Amino acid sequence: MSDLVEAVRSIIDGIERGNPQPLLQTLSDRVEWNEAENGPYWAGAAFVGREAIMANVFARIQHDFQDLHLMVRRVVGCGNTVLVEGRYSAVSKANGQRLDAQVAHVWDFENGKVIRWQQYTDTWQFAKVTGTSLVSP
């Protein structure tokens, strides 16, 4: 269990430094990536696979925000699941508004690979900061 917690910490550290390799190396080929419902990157269903995640989430984040950080409050291992609690902070590139939203991530592993990821966050604040609406796709 502690290996999975360390894997998630390494992934978060890599993303914070602009290095997606720890994430990409740990994702299963058929990983299901679930953005928070009604958030700006939610597509109505999970993104499946590394390419879909990079194109539909991480590329869009880089386009929409500067100085995005995940401030981790705690990381908890529960068998093959790792829970992360924290806060996102960022500045919208479109309008300069600040984001300061609570967040939780659920990482599910199988054979050392991430097979499912789920985000829970303040979608209202994301909509306000990015200027998007909370309308289902």
Does residue 136 carry a pLDDT above 80? Answer: no
Provide CB contacts within 8 A for 19, sequence distance 6+: none
How far, in Å, CA of 77 to CA of 63, rounded? Answer: 32
**Closest to 12 measured CA to CA, from 102, 88, 112, 91:** 88
- Adjacent-strand bridge partners of 49: none
Does residue 118 carry a pLDDT above 70? Answer: yes
Beta strands across the sheet bearing 113-121: 47-48, 27-34, 113-121, 98-110, 81-92, 65-78
How far, in Å, CA of 8 to CA of 86, rounded? Answer: 13
Q: What does the pLDDT look like over 2-17, one tens digit per residue?
A: 899 999 999 999 999 9
Would you say 51 and 30 are in contact if contact means Cβ atoms under 8 Å apart? Answer: no
Q: Given this model, what pLDDT does residue 132 score?
A: 75
Q: What does the pLDDT look like over 88-105, one tens digit per residue?
A: 999 999 999 999 999 999
Domain 2-130 bears CATH identifier 3.40.50.300: no
Q: What does the pLDDT look like over 22-71, one tens digit per residue?
A: 999 999 999 999 999 999 999 999 999 999 999 999 999 999 999 999 99
Does the pTM of the predicted model rise above 0.85? yes
What is the sign, positive or negative, of the torsion defined by CA atoms of 75, 78, 82, 87?
Answer: negative
Q: Given this model, what pLDDT does residue 1 score?
A: 52
Does residue 114 carry a pLDDT above 80? Answer: yes
Does residue 135 carry a pLDDT above 60? Answer: no
* Residue ranges of domains in the chain: 2-130
With cut-offs at 50, 70 and 90, classify the pLDDT of residue 84. Answer: very high
Q: Given this model, what pLDDT does residue 2 score?
A: 83
